[in-house]
Chains A and B, each alone.
Chain A
């Protein structure tokens, strides 16, 4: 039996076992089962002492006849190997983990030139090198966002964390929540000290977006209402995307959240910003017109009715609009429509007013000049509004064919948008018809929108569609 050869392997320990093995030679041949059992034990011992027992089964294999021993040994070998392999894996994993955490601080490059250690608010260590606590991190991020008026700070950090696998998606959401709260506190604290010049509106934009992003929208509305009730004059979710440097669909969401919030919020701060327009006198909150400040075109319309004979007309219009807004608010509140839908109705309405005024009355209300307000020039935002206006125009044309073709307001990609709009509409109609036929409940527009947004992003990544096109498509979907 090859078992005797085991004794030949140098083993530092287990001399007793060696003797046992050695002595076994002198006994009679034992029954098969016992041999198998002994072979197992011996093998275990040998393996623990001898790191490379690979040769040993080979020796046994030379025995040939005894399938049972072979089989059991082979099985045992496999499990031992597996155990060893997994242990090595664990070890490796630990190594890679520690590498990762080490790398994070080193690799993380600050977004602004000149902002180096130790002052880098985006590093994950204190000045003295001790690791930060969770609260510290949240505080740091919130501070940085506040100082830079840049919500992108948060995104950058979180995406780095996610990419490195240090946090999960749900942890990212929680982090966002916490940062938003901290930011809110920061704003509250600082608002008391700083008045107009600090409140350019960027960080409220950030806060508004933060709260909107991953929370349920009604929760964010609640939050804005809370903010409102705290009686803090100076803060509110931003009403517009104009302060937001990030383009694209975030605008829509922000707009969505903001408008819904705006529908119920006071706008004193907004009011102050617009003070330069000289409208302040007409629309003090005491007038009860705070809701309507969100509708710049309507606003201008009102402005243009400032003569006495128009006073009654003004009143009528104001009443109508307020009723509308209340109506929409109610629908949102009772869940008849989603906040986004409510917002887009209102947005479209405002754009429609601009158009109608221009067409029917021959006077332009002027482009909503957000740029002047915010001191920035976001092209995307203008496109959003113009896109909405253009889409309203399309609806109009389809409804009333006696109207002549009207030149669209400035549009970046007229042909494409129309074609895409057409295609999307066909799909929605088909979905409606299809679901009706099958007796399903109405298709879920928000699910479809989410799915399409995802697909669009994927296609942009792969170079199948250009970023602008993708944004157009997303805008069309969110305006539905």
Chain B
């Protein structure tokens, strides 16, 4: 019966021992339903609590949280000068690959950070990365509930109200096209944005939530993930002349092509020039190097991609990642391997072009100042700390910073491929100028009155 004694001792040792977990860093490649999605994000947070934070931007129509996992060295905080980035997946509920890839990406970034991957550590320290695996959790549940055989091209695509979220955004393309012809603003086209959104009864709750999100955080670069084809699509999505296919260039066509390529070139399927189209009847004549202009492929009004560009400072592209919208689970690992490097490379694109601060002569930040680049008919604005990030392809530019009540300053800049070139502006306010003049006047008056004694 000495077993008892040994039992106790053994138990003691076990109780007091430090536990070594299995050193298993594998991502498990499976579909995540709503609960599992939450659990996966929570697990990433538990593993990397110092660099991650989970938040929700609102609820879907059926009350599911629109969860976001944020990764940064100071989660929850916008550090002045640190660019904000987002990935949004699964806005069409039956396009499932993007949703999963974003989850795997979250796990990957956390694991790599802890394994001293220099690239990832740098990225996390210098970027604020927001990952939303699913913008349409209701649609996904519908799509996932079907059995594999009968997965339809459409079931689960729209939200629970039957709204196609990628046609539900305010159509600002119409307005920009008018302004191009007749003159008008070239940026931030949604007047009284908050009011317009809150009073618009046609907007789905998911759409509203994303618009508020865009208003709250000064995103610089983003991508939204889809399925049903394999290509990186960039603005504008809607054709100018209402035709079905027409190349519809934005003022930043050069930058967008560069950004789209930065994704496609690391995806062997996407960038394969000899890739057969997903379906024999597909027309992918607009695809080159794995990228395409939106309008050239087919016209899409009310999409989220163009809305980003035309209502805020954010440059967004659309990534189509799989011929099959809802492939079988055992294909997920392959999709991850095809896209992992692209996903990371695309985030790195946020560190390009010109960036800096706009301040007044006392060093106070000037928010909502205008940053314009000569030759590019699309201006940006500075964020609350006066910080801005202007993505540009390599070249020489003249960049101007202006704000109401201030004197404009123009600077010449040479931009390399990367990293971003730092350009700060100090603006003199008109009031200051006037004050100086007033002071001079007063001094003169004093002098005069003393001299002449009146």
Most chain-A Cβ atoms within 10 A of its Cβ — which of B5, B15, B39, B453? B15
Answer yes or no: B19 CB below 8 A from chain A CBs.
Answer: yes
Interface residues of A in 373-419 (CB under 8 A from B): 392, 394-396, 398-399, 415-416, 419
Asked whether B42 lies within 8 Å of A398 as measured between CB atoms, the reply is: no
Residues 42-82 of A at the B interface (beta carbon under 8 Å): 65-68, 71
Q: Which of B43-51, B87-95, B149-157, B243-251 contacts A (4 or more CB under 8 A)?
A: B43-51
B442 touches A68 (CB 8 A): yes
Q: Are the CB atoms of B11 and A352 closer together than 8 Å?
A: yes
Q: A349-B12, A392-B15, A427-B46 are in contact. Are A422 and B454 (CB under 8 A)?
A: no
Nearest CB on A from B450, distance (A):
8
Q: Which residues of B contact A356 (CB under 8 A)?
A: 7, 10-11
Asked if A92 is at the interface (CB within 8 A of a chain B CB), the reply is no
Check if A398 sits within 8 Å of B19, measured CB to CB: yes
Report yes or no: B4 in contact with A301, Cβ–Cβ below 8 A.
yes
Please give the distance in Å from A322's CB to the nearest CB on chain B.
11
Residues of B within 8 A of A360 (CB): 3, 7
Cross-interface CB contact of A455 among B3, B47, B49, cutoff 8 Å: B49
Are B38 and A473 neighbours in the complex by a CB distance under 8 Å?
Answer: no
Interface residues of A in 332-353 (CB under 8 A from B): 345, 348-349, 352-353
Q: Are B454 and A427 in contact (CB under 8 A)?
A: no
B202 adjacent to chain A (CB < 8 Å): no
Q: Does B328 lie at the interface of the complex (its beta carbon under 8 Å from any beta carbon of A)?
A: no
> Closest residue of chain B to A316, judged by CB?
B5
Contact of A326 with B by CB under 8 A: no
A residues 456-472 in Cβ contact with B at 8 Å = 459, 462-465, 469
B46 touches A345 (CB 8 A): no
* Chain A proximity of B162: nearest CB distance (Å): 25
B14 in contact with A473 (CB, 8 Å): no
A9 at interface by CB-CB < 8 Å:
no
User: A32, B47: Cβ atoms under 8 Å?
Assistant: no
Partner of B43, one of A68, A423, A463: A423
Query: Is A83 part of the contact surface with B, judged by Cβ < 8 Å?
Result: no
CB-nearest residue of chain A to B2: A313
Within 31-89 of B, Cβ neighbours of A (below 8 Å) are at: 38-39, 42-49, 54-56, 65, 67
Question: Of B4, B16, B20, which contacts A345 at CB under 8 A?
Answer: B16
Does B431 sit at the interface, judged by CB under 8 A?
no
Do B46 and A399 touch across chains, with their CB atoms under 8 A apart? no
Residue of B nearest to A433 (CB): B114
Which residues in A have their C-beta under 8 angstroms from that of B49? 427, 448, 451-452, 455
Within 8 A of B (CB), among A286-345: 298, 301, 305, 309-310, 313, 316-317, 320-321, 324, 345
Give CA–CA (A251, B231) in the complex, Å: 54
Q: Is A436 an interface residue (CB 8 A)?
A: no
Q: Which residue of A lies closest to B43 (CB)?
A: A423
**B47 & A31 in contact (Cβ 8 Å cutoff):** no
**Residues 438-460 of A at the B interface (beta carbon under 8 Å):** 448, 451-452, 455, 459
Q: Mark B433-450, 1 if CB is under 8 A from A, else 0.
A: 000001001100110011
In the bound assembly, the distance between CA atoms of A426 and B44 in angstroms comes to 10
Are A67 and B12 also in contact (CB < 8 A) when A360-B7, A427-B47 are?
no
B9 at the interface (CB under 8 A from A): yes
Q: Does A424 reach chain B (CB closer than 8 Å)?
A: yes
Check if B276 is an interface residue, CB within 8 A of chain A: no
Q: How many angstroms between the C-alpha atoms of A309 and B54 in the bound complex?
A: 60
Residues of B within 8 A of A353 (CB): 7-8, 11
Bound complex: CA A324 to CA B9 (Å): 10
Determine whether the beta carbon of A67 is less than 8 Å from that of B55: no
Does A416 lie within 8 Å of B39, measured CB to CB?
Answer: yes
Q: From A28, which residue of chain B is reached at the shortest CB distance?
A: B454
Chain B: residues with Cβ within 8 Å of the partner, total of 44
Minimal beta-carbon separation of A337 from chain B (angstroms): 10
CB of A320 within 8 A of CB of B20, answer no
- Taking CB atoms, residues of chain A closer than 8 Å to B44 are 423
Is the Cβ of B8 less than 8 Å from the Cβ of A317?
A: yes
Chain B residues whose CB sits within 8 angstroms of the CB of A425 once the complex forms: 19, 21
Interface flag for A277 (CB, 8 Å): no
Residues of A within 8 A of B11 (CB): 349, 352-353, 356
- Count chain A CB atoms within 10 A of each CB in B8, B17, B445, B450 and give the residue with the most: B8
Contact yes or no, B47 A423, CB < 8 A = yes
Residues from chain A with Cβ under 8 Å of B442 in the complex:
67-68, 71
Q: How far is the CB of A66 from chain B (nearest CB, A)?
A: 8
In the complex, what's the smallest C-beta–C-beta distance from B209 to chain A, in angstroms?
A: 14
A396–B43 CB distance below 8 A: no
Nearest CB in chain B: distance from A325 CB, A: 11
Contact assessment for A67 and B21 in the assembled complex, using a CB-CB cutoff below 8 Å: no
With a cutoff of 8 Å between Cβ atoms, the chain A residues found around residue B5 in the complex are: 313, 316-317, 320
Complex: A452 Cα to B445 Cα, angstroms: 66
A29, CB-defined interface residue at 8 Å: yes
Q: Mark A347-373, 1 if CB is under 8 A from B, else 0.
A: 011001100110011000000000000
Query: Is the Cβ of B114 less than 8 Å from the Cβ of A349?
Result: no
Cβ–Cβ contact B19 & A29, under 8 A: no
- Quick check: B7 and A423 within 8 Å, CB to CB? no
* Cα separation A382 to B340 with both chains bound (whole Å): 44
- Which chain B residues lie closer than 8 Å to A108 at the CB level? none
Report A-chain residues with C-beta under 8 Å of the C-beta of B1. Answer: 305, 309-310, 313
| In the complex, residue of chain B having the shortest beta-carbon distance to the beta carbon of A324 | B12
Give complex CA distance A39, B113 in Å.
69
Considering the chains assembled together, what is the distance between the CA atoms of A425 and B445 in angstroms? Answer: 76
The answer to whether residues A426 and B21 also contact, given A352-B15, A464-B55 and a CB cut-off of 8 A, is yes
Decide if A420 is an interface residue (CB 8 Å cutoff): yes
- Chain B residue contacts of A422, Cβ below 8 A: 21-22, 43
Q: Give chain A nearest CB distance to B117 CB in angstroms.
A: 13
Partner of A320, one of B8, B446, B449: B8
A430 on interface, CB distance cutoff 8 Å: yes
Contact call A459/B54, Cβ cutoff below 8 A: yes
A32 contacts across to B, CB distance below 8 A: 445-446, 449, 454
Chain A residue nearest to B441 (CB atoms) is: A67
- Min CB gap B320→A, angstroms: 30
Contacts beyond the supplied A361-B7, A452-B46, A464-B65: 16 A-B pairs with Cβ under 8 Å: A31-B454, A66-B445, A309-B1, A349-B12, A352-B11, A422-B43, A423-B42, A425-B19, A426-B21, A427-B47, A448-B49, A463-B65, A464-B42, A464-B67, A465-B42, A473-B46
Q: Which 8 A-B pairs have the closest CB atoms?
A: A352-B11, A423-B46, A423-B47, A425-B21, A423-B43, A348-B15, A349-B15, A430-B114
The 11 listed contacts between A and B (C-beta, < 8 Å) are: A68-B446, A420-B42, A423-B42, A423-B44, A423-B45, A423-B46, A424-B47, A427-B48, A459-B54, A464-B42, A464-B65
